Amino acid sequence: MKAAGDLLMRWVSELGGGKVADLRAAALRTARGRGLAMRDGADGRWIRDMSALGHLDVDWRRGVWSAAPPVLTRLPFSDGLAVIAGRRTAALERALGQAADEWAVVLPAVNETAEGDIPLPASLLLQYDTPDELPDRAEALCCSYAPCAALQAFSLLPDLEPGPPAAPPAPGNVQTVEKYDPAKRSYEPADSYSEDGLYRWRGADWSRLVQIRRGNAFLSTEHEYGVYLELERSGTGSIRWQPETGIGRERVGTLFVDWGAPLPPLHARAAVLCSGLQPRFSKVAETVRYDNVPRAAAERLARSLRQELEIYHPNSTATGRAN
């Protein structure tokens, strides 16, 4: 019997797309049907993680999703490892099974699931000898081939900018207005919305609107981008990187992001595709960590979010700033 994460992966792969609301309900229904107790927000976290892993493309504003096309791509500085991301139909699984019997070494990697969250599918890592063989391997697996989707994604990250001017809350809608509190990492009821900050409220159709106020203007944004605009305004750093200690591995390391400052979807996908695995969460340090991230890529990610990358030096409590 398939695990809940792999069962959901097959379902979204065969369905192909639909409404986010329906996907949320199906994910919760499947998990509960397997006897799993869910925490609040588990459905949204599962969808975000599936997007970061490269399996789903999600348009949150329009409320729709689609299964991403399957792709075989190398992991950066990974010593012969590639990952298969995107939808997994029955046809792809048959091709993968045949390849595993003939030429492929497939290493299913279990993504750790926090208590109360919906399980994710196992990541599929493929061993290879030389990059030259990967285009043919991808064709045999019914996949597209991307030399290194992670590094390509880092190069395409958009620079953080607020969106176009937008209408402020309607006078009769003040009771739904909330302001983001960086210290609490949450939105709190707002006494007013006359100060600079990140706000959200319910629109006329009960959709949730997120906007940032600067001076006398309200500007459109998304929650993750708005948080980083607020971090810039307060001069707060939230992104750090620590190099690996192995010989010849100094250019690769771990990216740390503080809780309460989640990476936007495109940034999260770029970081996740460096390892092919979901990020790991530390309750003690209150950080999210992404492994196998090249320093140059981490610097590009930080710059795009108007952050200055902080460098952890191994075996030292001292920190430095990326140039």
Q: Does a structural domain hold residue 155?
A: no
For the stretch 263-290, pLDDT in tens is 999 999 999 999 999 999 888 888 999 9
Q: At what angle do helices 20-33 and 42-52 cross, to 10 degrees?
A: 110
Number of domains in the chain: 4
- Give DSSP secondary structure letters for 235-286: T---EEEEE--STT-TTEEEEEEETT-PPPHHHHHHHHTTTTS--EEETTTT
Q: Does a structural domain hold residue 226?
A: no
Q: Does a structural domain hold residue 307?
A: yes
* Separation CA 264–CA 269 (nearest Å): 9
Tokens matching residue 69: 């096309």
Q: State residue 322's pLDDT score.
A: 46
Q: In terms of pLDDT, which residue wins out, 322 or 194?
A: 194
Same structural domain, 92 and 134: yes
Q: What value does the mean pLDDT take over residues 212-240?
A: 95
Same structural domain, 206 and 275: no
pLDDT band at 182 (very low <50, low <70, confident <90, very high): confident
1: buried, middle or exposed (CB in 10 Å: 19+, 13-18, 0-12)?
exposed
Q: State residue 173's pLDDT score.
A: 75
Domain boundary among 51, 67, 83: 67
* Separation CA 274–CA 74 (nearest Å): 9
* Separation CA 62–CA 227 (nearest Å): 21
Q: Which of 303, 305, 203, 314 is nearest to 254 (CA)?
A: 314
CATH number assigned to the domain comprising residue 61: 1.10.10
Q: Does a structural domain hold residue 109?
A: yes
Q: What value does the mean pLDDT take over residues 178-183?
A: 91
Are 153 and 75 in contact by the 8 Å Cβ rule? The answer is no
Q: State residue 323's pLDDT score.
A: 42
Same structural domain, 52 and 77: no
CATH number assigned to the domain comprising residue 262: 3.30.780
For the stretch 25-78, pLDDT in tens is 999 998 888 888 889 999 999 999 999 999 999 998 889 999 999 999 999 998
Tokens matching residue 116: 């109360």
Domain boundary among 37, 67, 97: 67
In terms of pTM, does the model score above 0.85? yes
Range of the structural domain that residue 194 is part of = 165-220
Same structural domain, 57 and 79: no
